[in-house]
Structure 1
Amino acid sequence: MSEQLPGGGFKVSTDDIAALEARWARCWEPHDVARRLAGISTPWYIAAGWALDLFRGEQTREHHDLEIGVPAERFPEIRERFAGLVFDAVGDGRIWEAATPQVLSATWQTWLREPATGHYLLDVFREPHDGTVWICRRDQNIRMPYAEIIRYTPDRIPYLSPELVLLFKAKQVRPKDQADFDGALPLLTRTQRETLSRLLTQVHPGHAWLASL
């Protein structure tokens, strides 16, 4: 990247964006990660747009990356499964290549990089939690057991419950986020709609999606 920052971090400039997108061109898909994490004791789930496609039972659009969520304190167990990859931390428009434990403790997003090619394969969210209870990073008053927020495809790929995925997507509402909401909404149960409505009211009062719920 173009501008080196203290602690080994680099600020991502506008000119870097296209190059970064190209480095995600060979990222994994959900079944790739599920195969590599098979049998692990740490709870984990596919997040973001891919999670909604798993919920819907089909891929509905192109995905430029793949994100998973894991409990922050259990990240070392996840890391062991990807020993051949380099772990870059990301935050506030910066990237820390081969992040130190100190940088990892101060950030929550991790890009897994293939050292031979420089390609990014997976984005890992190191999420706040209290033991087996998931804590929403947008509002730490939102707490739910992992057993209640993780759903599974018929072939046992774990993904974040759709109402929580949509809660995260509600912050920006890019065109793809609106399309994801429109596509998932008819499939949400009454309970899921009520939960999303309650959480949106709490985190994003007056949000446009509330009228549809």
Structure 2
Amino acid sequence: MKVPDQQAWQAWTPEELSQRLKQVSRPWSVVGGWALDLWLGRQTRDHGDLEFTVLRDDFMLFRQALEPLQFYTVKDGTFAFLSADRVPGEEIFQVWGFDAVANVWRVEVMLEFGTADTWVYKRDTSLVYPRAEMVALSDSGVPYLKPAAILLFKAKHTRSKDQADFSLALPNLSGEERQWLVLHLKRLHPDHEWTRRLENAE
């Protein structure tokens, strides 16, 4: 099957996604830039996509809830159609959902480790916390990954939008959140420029 235009995004809002998942009782949370906006309580910039994370073993449950979207696995820039009877391989951590009627992408599903009670950082599985400490609910009831963890993910590449997100988030982080992020930046990204800014903000 031909892969749709990768630029053809018309993502749902987090609230639209939440409405579609209202019958799903398994854990999920919005991640990426939208998660920061849910935390801040307002949309601060345009978002080209909508990312949310689910436990790997729960993927088929969420896929069914999001029918009739078509799904494509993504690895190293290569897209592959994922038929309805197949689950993503262990090497896959990213799946895009395509609305064939509207001819646009709607969501990006990130497959995570952990359990219903435990959050595990994908890039270093020794970093483990209770899920209840890492996920919060927006005022509209949408679950999102808390800002310190979002910024830890963003620290790897620090694209221009990541820098902007960090600058906007920094004055709103609590002392505890700043300390958490400094701790893990020093461990995973030594000498990262954000560490100095976080420490100077204290």
TM-score, normalised with respect to structure 1: 0.86
Are the equivalent residues in 2 in contact too, given 1:151–1:159 (CA < 8 A)? Answer: yes
Q: Provide the rounded CA distance (Å) in 2 between the counterparts of 1:187 and 1:105.
A: 37
Are the equivalent residues in 1 in contact too, given 2:41–2:139 (CA < 8 A)? Answer: no
Where structure 2 has 5 or more consecutive residues not aligned to the other structure, the ranges are none
How far did residue 9 of structure 1 move?
9.9
1:42-121 → structure 2 map (5 Å cutoff): 42-99=26-83, 101=86, 103-121=88-106
1:147-162 → structure 2 map (5 Å cutoff): 147-162=132-147
Are the equivalent residues in 1 in contact too, given 2:21–2:66 (CA < 8 A)? Answer: no
- Change beyond 3 A, Cα 1:36–1:75: same
Partner SS for 1:45? strand
Partner SS for 2:90? helix
- Change beyond 3 A, Cα 1:130–1:34: closer
Q: Which has the higher helix share?
A: 1
AA at the equivalent of 2:148: E
1:17-28 → structure 2 map (5 Å cutoff): 19-21=5-7, 23-24=8-9, 26-28=10-12
Tell me the alpha carbon deviations over residues 76-113 of structure 1, each in whole angstroms, 9 at most, x when there is no partner.
22111012111110011100123573644330101001
Q: Provide the rounded CA distance (Å) in 1 between the counterparts of 2:75 and 2:25.
A: 27
TM-score, normalised with respect to structure 2: 0.91
- Alignment RMSD: 1.9
What is residue 5 of structure 1 aligned with on the other side?
none
1:116-155 → structure 2 map (5 Å cutoff): 116-130=101-115, 132-155=117-140
Q: Provide the rounded CA distance (Å) in 2 between the counterparts of 1:57 and 1:113.
A: 28
Are the equivalent residues in 2 in contact too, given 1:71–1:134 (CA < 8 A)? Answer: no
Are the equivalent residues in 1 in contact too, given 2:59–2:87 (CA < 8 A)? Answer: no
Match of 1:184 among 169, 175, 191: 169
What is residue 210 of structure 1 aligned with on the other side?
195
Kindly tell me the number of residue pairs found equivalent between the two proteins: 197
- Change beyond 3 A, Cα 1:182–1:42: same
- Change beyond 3 A, Cα 1:152–1:103: closer
Partner SS for 1:176? helix
AA at the equivalent of 2:6: L
How far did residue 156 of structure 1 move?
0.9
Q: Provide the rounded CA distance (Å) in 2 between the counterparts of 1:101 and 1:109.
A: 15
AA at the equivalent of 1:203: L
Tell me the alpha carbon deviations over residues 6-48 of structure 1, each in whole angstroms, 9 at most, x when there is no partner.
xx898xxxxx9xx422x11x21111100111114211111100
AA at the equivalent of 2:62: I
Where structure 1 has 5 or more consecutive residues not aligned to the other structure, the ranges are 1-7, 11-15
How far did residue 131 of structure 1 move?
5.0
Are the equivalent residues in 1 in contact too, given 2:11–2:107 (CA < 8 A)? Answer: yes
